[in-house]
């Protein structure tokens, strides 16, 4: 099997499974929504069609049963029910498992996977199929042919088979599609009684492109499937082929119209239709004569021969019109082709190359400045501007909307709330917020844990909520937004909140705090992020709040982010996650302390001021009437040497808190390519990574959230030391 075709099918199938899941969740909320039913059916049919094309028979067989139930649902033979939606959702999960089997190149699913599928099929058959013939097995004719089925005259072709005329586009082979696979899959719906291969579009051997397709087919096809089902067979190439389907008992005029629409010679096409059994020779002759008589009457010309000559002229007009239509379709496809799938590894490699280009550009600019040549300086400045544009464009390629990740929790909330016997509504806002794809991928597990904990131990049961004067339906909110160069993600529930006294007692029992310790409410509730901390009285399948919260924090911190919780006991809790937009390249502000260089992420920098009294030992200053605590980086990183005559304070801000970082020199803005620190330095506090300067030297990138937190902790500690003397 072609690897490109397999990859295309797997990606398409995953998208269709998500579409099925979303449609089922919407249908459960609005059972009368016919659009949702149609979307679910189309997704299942596309999966079945794709499985047939790639010859994945175990997926095709399973999806066929699911499709039969959905067809009954679509035709109003089955009512929408919670039981049906739950069962089809389980079938979606099983299809996902079967897809992984196919993606891993295995010929058959494992026995336990097959057993789960058999159980689902038995439940489908017993509850909804009942071994009755489905509507999908009936012949569906267009309305305009309904009356004609009853009669045998009126110029109707005497046949009970469909006629399919298809011309594959020249690009289908390049897209990994095999025309023969579509014909094989077509046979799963019925029997091909006659087929003619059309090769008129094939150029001379010397001009042939081996990667292009020049084939077309005229097919006589007996089936009890509908026209829509036949069209779905060619779904993957629908925009790259010309497809005409004539139903059984079509009129001769419709066959003649088909002949006019196709680019091949009219008489030759007529002969092909005769050989295929779609027409008899007498029917074709009668039709042509009738057409000629009509033309003779319209033109007031006695010569039938001339009309036949004109037939070729008319045919040329049809060809030109068809070419014009094809050009219009081509333009539409060109616009659609702007959206393409790109392998993630290729994007990662591109970002790496751009990062190296940023470093090289900085080095070239440094050499230009040292040379003092104005022309070279001008040239490198243009180069740097272009590098910045390329950097921004490359990073934008990896930006994805977080809504896709948020939407996956619709199913989680639905299943978990049913299991817990609760009524919970999920509200999503800020789904259009964009974030680096690598960040989004690693964010899924922490968010899953927070959502499950909110469902399990955050939101109360309906009777408890009503006793507290709340709505019986709890609300869980997922919100995302941009803030100061970062992305803020909030998980908010209107449940009972975190029990502060339980948290305090648990912290005392575990030796995390002293019995007489004075902590703010915020400090107290954030103790849940300590390793092994939990106030859950019992462990459930969903998980207790606090179990694994240290892992959640560790995962967030590995993304150079932070997590904080705000709590109002009895009303709910808000978990706030702050993350950088990207993990690869950032704009930085370069500073110097002694002989060392440090980079402060530019989005955190508020302003820079001079430290007026260098020798002072205090760790705060008066910033326009505001007390600003600060850290001396010389002390933080134990840098020796004499103090310079003047020092500067870089004022940074994170999560609404301001702090100062005292440095020796300010070296200006700097494009920073983030290089992760090795395992030897993973426990180093206050440093988020490293970068290479244009001179080849290494500079450390400061972890602003960690430093701001450290300043805040020192300030709180000093206040506590001063408080006894105050009273």
Distance between CA 184 and CA 9 in Å, rounded? 17
358-399 confidence digits (pLDDT tens): 888 888 888 888 888 888 988 988 988 898 888 888 888 888
Distance between CA 81 and CA 128 in Å, rounded? 11
**Tokens found for residue 616:** 């002072």
pLDDT at 155 over 70: no
Given the DSSP bridges, would you call strands 241-246 and 626-632 parallel, antiparallel or unpaired? unpaired
Distance between CA 570 and CA 152 in Å, rounded? 77
pLDDT at 696 over 60: yes
Residues 492 and 576 in one domain: yes
The confidence score (pLDDT) of residue 46 equals: 84
Residues 65 and 208 in one domain: no
Which of 426, 421, 499 shows the shortest CA–CA distance to 460?
Answer: 421
Residues 283 and 311 in one domain: yes
408 exposed, middle or buried (CB, 10 Å; 0-12, 13-18, 19+)? middle
* CATH number assigned to the domain comprising residue 478: 3.30.565.10
Residues 451 and 562 in one domain: yes
Domain boundary (107, 137, 167) is at 137
Residues 390 and 414 in one domain: no
Highest mean pLDDT among 121-130, 168-177, 282-291, 585-594: 585-594
567-588 confidence digits (pLDDT tens): 888 889 999 998 877 666 778 8
Distance between CA 653 and CA 636 in Å, rounded? 18
| Share of residues in the chain with pLDDT > 90 (%) | 13
Domain that holds residue 443: 401-580
* CATH number assigned to the domain comprising residue 647: 2.30.30.40
Residues 383 and 437 in one domain: no
Residue 339 lies in a domain: no
Residue 265 lies in a domain: yes
* Bridge partners (DSSP) listed for residue 563: 577
Residues 677 and 719 in one domain: yes
For 658, other C-beta atoms within 10 Å of its C-beta total: 18
Residues 398/437, Cβ–Cβ less than 8 Å: yes
Residue 329 lies in a domain: yes
Q: State the Rg of the chain over Cα.
A: 35
Number of domains in the chain: 5
Residue 157 lies in a domain: yes
Domain boundary (334, 360, 385) is at 334
2-27 confidence digits (pLDDT tens): 677 788 788 888 889 998 999 999 88
Residues 157 and 305 in one domain: yes
Domain boundary (398, 418, 444) is at 398
Residues 433/480, Cβ–Cβ less than 8 Å: yes
Residues 168 and 235 in one domain: yes
- pLDDT band at residue 416 using 50, 70 and 90 as cut-offs: confident
Task: Calculate the average pLDDT of the chain.
Answer: 78
b/e 383-402 (16+ beta carbons within 10 angstroms → b): bbeebeebbeebbeebebeb
- Residue 138 makes CB contacts below 8 A (sequence gap 6+) with 224, 226
Residues 326 and 351 in one domain: no
| pTM exceeds 0.75, yes or no | no
464 exposed, middle or buried (CB, 10 Å; 0-12, 13-18, 19+)? middle
The confidence score (pLDDT) of residue 247 equals: 87
Residues 551 and 633 in one domain: no
Q: Which residue has the tokens 């469909």?
A: 162
Highest mean pLDDT among 117-131, 143-157, 273-287, 674-688: 117-131
Distance between CA 448 and CA 405 in Å, rounded? 10
Residue 94 lies in a domain: yes
Distance between CA 632 and CA 664 in Å, rounded? 10
* CATH number assigned to the domain comprising residue 354: 1.10.287
Q: What's the average model confidence in pLDDT over 18-41?
A: 88
The confidence score (pLDDT) of residue 38 equals: 86
Residues 133 and 148 in one domain: no
Distance between CA 53 and CA 179 in Å, rounded? 9
Q: What's the average model confidence in pLDDT over 467-476?
A: 91
Q: What strand order describes the sheet that includes 241-246?
A: 190-198, 216-223, 162-168, 241-246
**Tokens found for residue 82:** 């919670």
Distance between CA 267 and CA 676 in Å, rounded? 71
**Tokens found for residue 122:** 């038995």
509-540 confidence digits (pLDDT tens): 887 788 877 777 777 888 888 776 765 555 55
474-500 confidence digits (pLDDT tens): 999 999 998 766 789 999 999 988 888
pLDDT at 635 over 50: yes
45-103 confidence digits (pLDDT tens): 888 878 887 888 899 889 988 988 888 888 888 888 888 899 999 999 999 999 999 98
3-state class (DSSP) for residue 260: helix
pLDDT at 591 over 90: yes
């Amino acid at each position: 099997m072609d690897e490109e075709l397999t990859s295309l099918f797997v990606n398409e199938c995953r998208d269709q499974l998500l579409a099925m899941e979303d449609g089922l969740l919407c249908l459960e909320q609005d059972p009368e929504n016919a659009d949702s039913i149609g979307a679910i059916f189309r997704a299942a049919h596309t999966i079945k069609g794709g499985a047939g094309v790639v010859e994945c028979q175990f997926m095709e067989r399973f999806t066929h049963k699911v499709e039969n139930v959905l067809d009954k649902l679509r035709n109003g033979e089955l009512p929408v029910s919670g039981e049906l939606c739950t069962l089809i959702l389980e079938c979606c999960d099983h299809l996902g498992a079967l897809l992984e089997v196919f993606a891993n190149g295995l010929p058959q699913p494992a026995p336990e996977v097959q057993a789960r599928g058999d159980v689902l099929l038995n439940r489908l058959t017993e509850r909804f199929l009942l071994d009755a013939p489905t509507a999908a097995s009936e012949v569906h004719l267009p309305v305009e042919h309904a009356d004609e089925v009853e009669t045998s005259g009126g110029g109707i072709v005497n046949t009970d088979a469909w006629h399919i005329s298809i011309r594959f586009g020249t690009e289908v082979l390049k897209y990994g599609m095999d025309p023969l696979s579509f014909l094989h899959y077509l046979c799963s719906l019925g029997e091909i009684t006659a087929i003619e291969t059309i090769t008129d579009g094939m150029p001379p051997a010397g001009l042939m492109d081996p990667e292009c397709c020049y084939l077309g087919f005229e097919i006589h096809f007996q089936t009890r499937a509908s026209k829509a089902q036949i069209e779905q067979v060619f779904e993957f190439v629908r925009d790259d082929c010309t497809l005409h389907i004539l139903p059984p008992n079509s009129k001769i005029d419709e066959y003649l119209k088909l002949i006019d629409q196709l680019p091949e010679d009219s008489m030759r096409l007529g002969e092909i239709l005769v050989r295929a059994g779609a027409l008899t020779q007498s029917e074709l002759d009668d039709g042509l004569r009738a057409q000629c008589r009509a033309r003779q009457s319209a033109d007031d010309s006695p010569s039938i021969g001339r009309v036949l000559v004109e037939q070729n002229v008319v045919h040329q007009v049809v060809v030109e019109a068809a070419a014009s239509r094809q050009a219009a379709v081509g333009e539409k496809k060109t616009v659609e082709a702007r959206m393409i799938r790109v392998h993630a590894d290729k994007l990662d490699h591109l970002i790496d190359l751009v990062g190296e280009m940023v470093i090289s550009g900085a080095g070239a600019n440094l050499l230009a400045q040292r040379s003092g040549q104005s022309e070279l300086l001008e040239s490198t400045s243009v180069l740097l501007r272009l590098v910045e544009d390329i950097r921004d464009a490359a990073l934008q390629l990896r930006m994805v909307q977080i809504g896709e990740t948020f939407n996956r929790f619709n199913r989680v909330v639905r299943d978990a709330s049913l299991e817990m016997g609760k009524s919970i509504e999920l509200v999503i806002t800020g789904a259009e917020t964009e974030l680096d794809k690598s960040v989004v991928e690693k964010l899924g597990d922490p968010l899953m844990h927070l959502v499950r904990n909110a469902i399990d131990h955050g939101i109360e049961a309906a009777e408890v909520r009503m006793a507290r004067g709340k709505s019986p339906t709890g609300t869980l909110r997922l919100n995302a937004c941009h803030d100061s160069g970062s992305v803020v993600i909030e998980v908010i529930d209107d449940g009972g909140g975190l029990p502060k006294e339980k948290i305090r007692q648990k912290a005392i029992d575990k030796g995390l705090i002293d019995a007489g310790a004075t902590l703010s409410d915020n400090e107290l509730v954030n103790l849940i992020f300590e390793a092994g901390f939990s106030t859950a009285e019992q462990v459930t399948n969903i998980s207790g709040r606090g179990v694994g919260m240290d892992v959640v924090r560790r995962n967030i911190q590995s993304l150079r982010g932070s997590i904080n919780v705000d709590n109002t006991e009895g009303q709910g809790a808000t978990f706030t996650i702050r993350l950088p937009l990207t993990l690869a390249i950032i704009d930085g502000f370069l500073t110097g302390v002694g002989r060392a260089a440090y980079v402060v992420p530019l989005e955190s920098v508020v302003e820079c001021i001079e430290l007026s009294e260098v020798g002072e030992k205090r760790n705060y200053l008066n910033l326009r009437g505001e007390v600003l605590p600060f850290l001396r980086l010389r002390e933080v990183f134990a840098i020796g040497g004499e103090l310079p005559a003047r020092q500067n304070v870089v004022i940074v801000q994170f999560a609404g808190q301001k702090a100062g970082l005292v440095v020796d020199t300010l070296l200006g803005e700097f494009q920073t390519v983030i290089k992760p620190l090795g395992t030897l330095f993973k426990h180093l506090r206050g440093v988020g990574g490293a970068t290479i300067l244009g001179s080849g030297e290494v500079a450390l990138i400061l972890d602003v959230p960690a430093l701001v937190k450290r300043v805040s902790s020192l300030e709180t500690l000093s206040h506590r030391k001063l408080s006894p003397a105050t009273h």
